[in-house]
Structures are given as structure tokens and as C-alpha cells.
Amino acid sequence: MNTVKLLETGLELTFPQATAYFNYFWLRDNCATSWDSVTQERTFDVLEEPDDLSAQHAEVVSGDLKLVWQDGHQSLFSLAWLERWSNGEYLPDIAVRTRVPWYSDHYSKMARFDYTDLVNNPASVADWTESLLDEGVSIVQGLPDSNEGLKDLCNLIGTVRASFSGHEFDVFSKADPENLAYTSKSLELHTDLPPEELPPGVQFLHCRINDAEGGDSLFVDAMAVANKLKAEFPEHFKLLTELRVPFRYTTKDHDVRSRQFIIEIDANNGEVSGVNFSQHLSGIFDFDQKIMDALYPAFRQFGRMMQDPKYLMKFRLHAGECIVFDNHRIAHGRAAYLEGSGDRYLRGCYVDRGELRSKYRVLRAKYPNGAE
């Protein structure tokens, strides 16, 4: 039997297992009538309520809590719904999934999708977005050799978001490089553009030509490495999740600066959700020099662990393939290639991770696992 007791700022409701407290403003704000039935947006304005808002009357009627407010408004809450909130089981989110770590042997197991199938089959896009949430990396094969092919693929997940270098970027050898990616030199493991206030979320790299000698792609699940760091060097891990380090990107037209955590934690489930790692775009660490005594060992340990062959997936991208990956979770790099030995051309762009999760929620609801 549920009982309800009105207090000054809220009410106490007993469930079979426990008694829970609910604040009056929270209850009134989340009355079923607060929402527009078409847009699902809140139309109720809690700011208009009196400071001493309270329920005048409360009773439990056939599985519902019924409240009558000072102004006569009535609210009805399902007890099961209230119990979920009191237990900390909030609005279920199918996009909060447990990430699956992977290691150097992942190439043969990597999720692969066919471009034409994705374009024609939203159920396959649901599978694709799920693999990006779980493993953070996938390969799409069979892209047309055109700029439109990449754009159309991105649009299956969301809107292409610009970075300070524009909506798309091209990676090939340049005579006058302003960024290391535009040369034939090896490219250290990094995540893209941590100097941006919101570093790009999902990265698409469409391989248009690759017949140069060398230039293998290097990918690392930095989450798997960070989890290992947490287990073996908890103090290093803690520091890298707590300090926002400076990053900077400068060209003749840009001076972009931001501070980021080197290891990011997912607020939804406490997992490592990503990293910001780029030695070539790191600013000068500007903490007290005593902090450097702890920061450099932590930074070097983490960076070296990422280079460990146990974690490093090395492979060759082929023309017509697009590697799609979580730019926060997956660090990437490139072995050097022999300039003049052949052509190498990748075209890339980004979509935010929020769009990936949104697309997944919508498509998975429509196409449950296994459904076509």
C-alpha cells in the first residue's frame, strides 16, 4: 500500500521497497500537461509559479499519484514512473551503450558496410551507427570516386560540421605544407583538432587514391589504452581526467586555442568516452611547475602505451573505402610514405557525435536488431 505525506517543500511517497521524496517544483514542472503533444517540448513555465508552491491535496488512486495544486490544477503521475526516477533509472537511452575495447588484431574483425546498401537500407544504417557507438570504428566500402559520395555517406548520419579548415579537408602532399598531415612524413597518433572548443566528433576519411609506397594507416582504441592506464597507473589516469591542458593551432589566418581533458569521462555511465591527444597541436603546458612533475610522467606513460604494438592496428586503406571513426575515442596516425612513389589522396569531413547518437536512437527504434 502506497502512502503519501505532504511536507513543506515536497512530498514523501512510500513504495513497497522504500520511501522517496519528490520536490514540488519538480513534480509540477513534469506534470503530463507541461508538454506540447505535437512537438514534445515543454510549454509550462516554472518561473511563473509562486515561491511557496505546494500541493494542497494528494492521494494514490489505482496506481497513480493524484495531486491538486494551490491554483486548482491537477496532476497525475504513474507510481511506476515515479519509482523509476527515485531509483535513479531515468529516461532510458538506448544510445548509452557499453563500449567494446579492441586491440591490434581488430582489422579483420572491424565492422564493414557497403555504401550502396547503407544508402538504400536504413536498417543497415542502424547497424552501422551501433557499431560506431560500440567499437568506435568501421569501414564503408564501395564509395564512388567523387566528393558527393562522401557527402552522401555523412548525410546518412547527420549534417557535415565545419572545422576551422572548412566543411571538408583533403589530405595529400603539398609543396608548402601548413600542417604535418599534408606532407609525406609519418604522422604521430592523434585525435583531430583538440584546439577547437568542441573537437570534431565522428571523422570520415574517404580514400580516393592510394598507390604510394608505405603510408599505412595506424589506429588505436585510446579508450582501451586509457582503461589499462586506469588499472595500472590510477594516479596518472586521475590527473589526465582532471587537468584541462591547452591546445593551439596557428596559421596565417588562425589562432585557435582551447583547453581539453586528455582523457574524457562519459557523464552518462562513467566510462572513458574519449581522449584529446595531439602532440603537434598541444600548447605549452602552463601549470605550476610542480604539477609538471606529475603531468609529464602521466602524459608520457599514456602516450607510450598508445604506441604499444598490443593496441596499434596497422593496415592499408584502399581506394573506394571510407574509414569512419569516433574522433575522440580513436587515435589515428600514418606511417611515412615514399614521396613520388605514387599518389595518395584522402578526403575527410566530420559529423558531431550527438548526431550519431540521435540517428541511432531514431533508426534502432524503427528497426530493432535483426529486423529489415
Residues numbered 187 to 206 that lie near Fe ion (CB under 5 A) are 192
Q: How many residues bind Fe ion (CB under 5 A)?
A: 1
Which residue lies nearer to Fe ion by CB, 192 or 321?
192
The span from the CA of 337 to the CA of 369, in Å, is 41
Look up residue 83 and give its amino acid: E
Look up residue 15 and give its amino acid: F
Which residue lies nearer to Fe ion by CB, 226 or 281?
281
The runs of H, that is alpha helices, within the chain are 24-29, 79-86, 115-120, 122-134, 147-155, 222-232, 234-242, 289-307, 353-366
Q: How far apart, in Å, are the Cα atoms of 141 and each of 42, 84, 123, 208, 225? A: 43, 43, 17, 12, 28
Q: Choose the stretch contacting Fe ion; rule: CB under 5 A; options: 19-27, 42-50, 143-151, 184-192.
A: 184-192
Q: Choose the stretch contacting Fe ion; rule: CB under 5 A; options: 70-78, 186-194, 267-275, 361-369.
A: 186-194
Nearest residue to Fe ion, by Cβ distance, number only: 192
Which residue lies nearer to Fe ion by CB, 113 or 277?
277
DSSP secondary structure, 322-344, as one string:
EEEEETTTEEEEE--EETTSS-E
Which residue lies nearer to Fe ion by CB, 10 or 194?
194
Which residue lies nearer to Fe ion by CB, 118 or 323?
323
The span from the CA of 290 to the CA of 371, in Å, is 57
Q: How far apart, in Å, are the Cα atoms of 65 and each of 39, 126, 140? A: 26, 38, 51
CB of 246 to Fe ion, least distance (A): 19
CB of 339 to Fe ion, least distance (A): 19
User: Across the strands, what pairs with 282?
Assistant: 247
Q: Which of 363, 321, 348 is nearest to 157 (CA)?
A: 363
Which residue lies nearer to Fe ion by CB, 82 or 160?
160
CB of 211 to Fe ion, least distance (A): 21
Determine if 168 is a binding residue for Fe ion (CB under 5 A).
no
**Contacting residues toward Fe ion, per CB under 5 A:** 192
